[in-house]
């Protein structure tokens, strides 16, 4: 095994590569992003931004590795590269070393995640070329939800439709896995048996976690289902989608539902929660009301899936920082006994309620990149 210490984590998108380097103690020591791939882009590491021509992912990753080498974190200093892969389908439900069969499974999931999996594969191919001796690992955003019962995962579709892969996979799994790891450390208590976890950011979802395992989540076949999000519509009657296809066509419908709906569609152009709270317009207020209403409504559905609730946890940019949104949402669970402490909430303290409340409410900082590094580290240690 390579005796070098660092693990490089990559999150590759269509026009960007986010990266973070973790040391032997799994502390993040370098992070940044190469963005604008396909045009005149830039590479940011820490506070330094450098304009660069980034015609493709190969060139972007070569630039990333070159700059990391200058900071003592190049391929010769790495134990491994670990990738965030959005979709693992039904086969890839655990972190794994990337082998030809694993790569074939990731490629087989491209129809399920056409905007994400192809770019992860491009990064893997580029690393094979740039650093062929460096082992590569993958963690899957869908994997955490593989424990959900079949009644939660299957749509009420006949077998021929199910055979197309049309089922609820769920996403944000790496965030929920990190939350389950971190909450006991933050609370100094075991993980609650019935935990309602809210990942609230531009993409948003809720997960019912019972005995540490996902038993249901709001996102489904794609990240489009569930809550009102920054630009995504959330749950929509399928006949409404079909009507839109009839009226404006397939491609415009895809763009409308994924990029021009949700908060941005309701507010008249604002998707950032901070901007919405500051706007003071009726449209912005309605968008906030819509976001909170559907978080409360979907949350109660998932409490039903668990048969109760012992704790509520918030993570993600909105979940960690928007005290007013947390207060609105938790007010919807006050009947359960979840009485928010206004001072704790305003100060963003880890515990938002009295520690003796039932259920308690918590803030858990998102650690998706560190979770990926930990997954790779566990597999590397197991290989020794």
Was 321 annotated as part of a binding site? yes
Was 273 annotated as part of a binding site? yes
H/E segment holding residue 139? strand 136-140
Was 11 annotated as part of a binding site? yes
Are 1 and 384 in contact, with CB atoms under 8 Å apart? yes
Was 18 annotated as part of a binding site? yes
Residue 153, CB half-sphere, CA atoms under 13 Å: how many? Answer: 18
In the beta sheet, which residues pair with residue 197? 207, 313
Rounded CA-CA distance 318/366 in Å is 11
Are 206 and 199 in contact, with CB atoms under 8 Å apart? yes
Was 319 annotated as part of a binding site? yes
Was 229 annotated as part of a binding site? no
Rounded CA-CA distance 268/141 in Å is 31
Are 92 and 84 in contact, with CB atoms under 8 Å apart? no
- Which member of 6, 56, 125, 141 is catalytic? 141
Backbone angles phi, psi at 358, to 5 degrees: -135, 115
Q: Is 335 exposed, middle or buried (0-12, 13-18, 19+ CB in 10 A)?
A: exposed
Pairing of strands 204-210, 194-200: antiparallel
Count of positions (residues) in the chain: 384
Rounded CA-CA distance 311/363 in Å is 11
Task: Please confirm, yes or no, whether 58 is among the known catalytic residues.
Answer: no
Was 369 annotated as part of a binding site? no
Print burial letters for 273-311: b (CB count within 10 Å at least 16), e (below 16). Answer: beebeebeeeebeebbebbbebbbebbeebbebbeebbb
Was 202 annotated as part of a binding site? yes
Was 274 annotated as part of a binding site? yes
Pairing of strands 311-315, 96-97: unpaired
Was 251 annotated as part of a binding site? no
Please report, in range form, the residues annotated as the binding site for ATP.
18, 199-203, 272-274, 317-321
Please report, in range form, the residues annotated as the binding site for substrate.
84
Catalytic residue ranges? 141
Please report, in range form, the residues annotated as the binding site for Mg(2+).
11, 368
Please report, in range form, the residues annotated as the binding site.
11, 18, 84, 199-203, 272-274, 317-321, 368
């Amino acid at each position: 095994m390579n005796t070098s210490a660092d693990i490089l984590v990559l999150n590759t998108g269509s026009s960007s590569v986010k990266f973070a380097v973790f040391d032997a103690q799994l502390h993040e020591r370098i992070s940044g992003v190469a963005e604008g791939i396909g045009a005149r882009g830039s590479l940011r590491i820490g506070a330094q931004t450098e304009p660069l021509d980034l015609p493709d992912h190969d060139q972007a990753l070569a630039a990333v590795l070159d700059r990391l080498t200058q900071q003592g974190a190049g391929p010769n200093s790495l134990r491994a590269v670990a990738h965030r892969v959005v979709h693992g389908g039904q086969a890839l439900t655990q972190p794994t070393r990337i082998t030809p069969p694993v790569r074939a499974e990731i490629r087989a999931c491209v129809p399920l995640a056409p905007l994400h999996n192809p770019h992860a594969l491009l990064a893997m191919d580029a690393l094979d070329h740039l650093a062929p001796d460096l082992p590569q690992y993958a963690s899957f955003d869908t994997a955490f939800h593989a424990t959900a019962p079949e009644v939660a995962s299957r749509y009420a579709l006949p077998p021929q439709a199910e055979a197309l892969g049309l089922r609820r996979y769920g996403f944000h799994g790496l965030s929920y896995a990190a939350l389950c790891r971190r909450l006991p450390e933050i609370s100094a208590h075991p993980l609650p048996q019935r935990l309602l976890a809210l990942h609230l950011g531009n993409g948003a979802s809720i997960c019912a976690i019972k005995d540490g395992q996902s038993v249901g989540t709001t996102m489904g076949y794609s990240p489009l289902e569930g809550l009102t999000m920054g630009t995504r519509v959330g749950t929509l009657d399928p006949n409404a989608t079909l009507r839109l296809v009839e009226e404006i066509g397939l491609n415009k419908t895809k763009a409308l539902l994924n990029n021009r709906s949700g908060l941005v569609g309701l507010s008249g152009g604002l998707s950032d929660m901070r901007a919405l709270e500051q706007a003071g317009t009726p449209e912005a207020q309605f968008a906030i009301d819509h976001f909170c209403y559907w978080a409360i409504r979907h949350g109660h559905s998932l409490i039903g899936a668990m048969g109760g609730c012992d704790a509520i946890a918030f993570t993600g940019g909105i979940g960690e920082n928007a005290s007013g949104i947390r207060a609105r949402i938790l007010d919807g669970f006050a009947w359960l006994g979840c009485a928010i402490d206004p001072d704790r909430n305003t100060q963003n303290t880890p515990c938002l309620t009295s520690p003796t409340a039932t259920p308690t409410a918590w803030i858990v900082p998102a650690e998706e990149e560190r979770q990926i590094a930990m997954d790779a580290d566990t597999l590397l240690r197991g290989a020794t």
